[in-house]
Amino acid sequence: MGIVINLFLIIAASVVFFAVGFYIGRFFLERIGTTKVLEAEERAVQVVQEAQKEANDYKELKVNEVNQEWKKRKREFDSEVTIKNNKFAQLQKQIRQKEVTLGNQMRDVKEAEKKLQEQREELKHLTENVQNRSAELEKIIFEQNQRLESISNLTAEEARQMLIDNMIAKAREEAAETVHQIHEEATQKADRIAEKIMLTAIQRISFEQATESALSVVHIQSDELKGRIIGREGRNIKAFENATGVDIIVDDTPEVVILSCFDPLRRERAKLTLQKLLVDGIIHPVAIEKAYQDAKKEIEDVIMSSGEEAISSLQIPDMPAEIVNLIGKMRFHTVYGQNLLQHSREVAMLAGLMAAELKLDAKQAKRAGLLHDIGLVLPETEMPHALAGMEFLKKFNMSPVVLNAIAAHHGEVEKASPIADLVDAANVISLSRPGARGAVTAEGNVKRLESLEEIAKTFPGVIKTYALQAGREIRVIVEGDNVSDSQADVLAHDIASKIESEAQYPGQIKVTILREKRSVAFAK
């Protein structure tokens, strides 16, 4: 019981304590709340005052902005109004000017109409005058026609018919000329077409063509050798030119010496001679002659090998050695700028191919084609080279078909077999196709140089003649025992006079007489 009372007292004390604490806390809270409320009211009054002030300031700012914008818009509107007023004034001015211009044009039109009316009246008068004049002219023409009829005893119809006949005759003549011209053009066109077909046909064969030059270049090890080639007072170079018949040119070109001669065989011998001298390093007249003899032997070997190679490439058997030698010499001859051996091989190949196509003897065709120009490398005769070649080959028992084809390829004799026609056609094809020949005519450089040498050979006492420097100089070697110094001067003048009267040449030609006497003795 006591414990319950104690508990009750404790609970009652706790309740009292909490009640007292509650009222005390409430008192303090009320005091604090009152203070906060007063402070909040004061703060609210301040906020309202500040907001009102800011609102007034913002209102004034916006009012100023609106005023400024209004003033700006007013200025722009005034400017636009001013511009439009100016444009309107300008348009009014232009309209007034156009009105003035139209008035002037109307006045000009009225004046033009007035002038036109005057011109019409004038034209009417002129037309009447022309008609009157035309009637008078017709009357005069009629009278003149009557007079002409009485004078010529021809009526107008007869005269008209005569005029028509004359015009028809003239038209027929012009038509005949036109037909002839058309025929010529058609013929030329047909020739071009035939040439094109022929060139297309021969494209099966490919040969290298090179126009022979009149110069050969020899390279030397140094320019010091040029002095040794020339020799003291030109002794070596004179001995070289006399032995070879080739003009040697020593100029400022570094490490090069040039040999000039129109004869390729002479030039090749001279080139080989000079190369041998340069290898040995000994250059004097005796060494030059020895080297030249050695070079001649080597060239002979080259000639034989070239002939054998040509025969082997064409597969032509049983060819005598003398003919092989002549075929090899063709390598060093040219015909109007075309290498003779190359031309002969080409003719042989073309003739053989065409013969095979026609079921003829291809070997005979190739043999005749290869030998058709062999007369050009034979000693000179008065016969044409085709006949000379035929006569030379007769002693080798050549086939009559081959001999006839060789003799007839330039028309000197009549063709006796189809092989002759094939060789002639192959020769024409080889010579006429583009690039076959150089720009040299039959009266060209080679023939001219040979004729100059022949003119000088006709004088007594002459041993050798050489045409040098492309025909600008003729060098004549005479016998020292039979021609004296004074006779040499006369001989030079006589040769020059004969060249002037018989030869055709540009510029001038120098004639040089070389007289040399050698005394030889042997010690035994």
Cα distances (Å, whole numbers) of residue 387 to 282, 373, 374, 382: 47, 10, 10, 10
Separation CA 492–CA 499 (nearest Å): 11
Separation CA 252–CA 499 (nearest Å): 33
Tell me the whole-structure pTM to 2 decimals.
0.43
- Condensed to tens digits (0 to 9), the pLDDT of residues 349-394 reads 888 888 888 888 888 888 888 888 888 888 777 788 888 888 888 8
| SS3 label, residue 99 | helix
What the block records as the tokens of 300 is 């002979």
| SS3 label, residue 205 | coil
- Condensed to tens digits (0 to 9), the pLDDT of residues 49-61 reads 888 888 888 888 8
pLDDT at 60: 85
Low-confidence ranges of the chain (pLDDT < 50): 197, 200-201, 203-212, 434-443
pLDDT at 433: 54
Cβ pair 354, 332 in contact under 8 A: no
DSSP code, position 460? T
- CA-closest candidate to residue 246, choices 230, 262, 222, 229: 262
pLDDT at 196: 54
pLDDT at 441: 45
Q: Rounded to 10 degrees, what is the CA torsion of 195, 196, 197, 203? A: 110
| SS3 label, residue 513 | strand
Q: How many CB atoms lie within 10 A of CB 509?
A: 18
Separation CA 189–CA 174 (nearest Å): 22
Q: Based on C-alpha coordinates, what's the Rg of the chain? A: 62
Strands 247-249 and 256-260: antiparallel
Residue 454, H or E segment: helix 445-457
What the block records as the tokens of 79 is 């400017």
Q: What sign does the dihedral 94-95-100-104 (CA atoms) show? A: positive
Q: How many CB atoms lie within 10 A of CB 230?
A: 17
Separation CA 373–CA 338 (nearest Å): 12
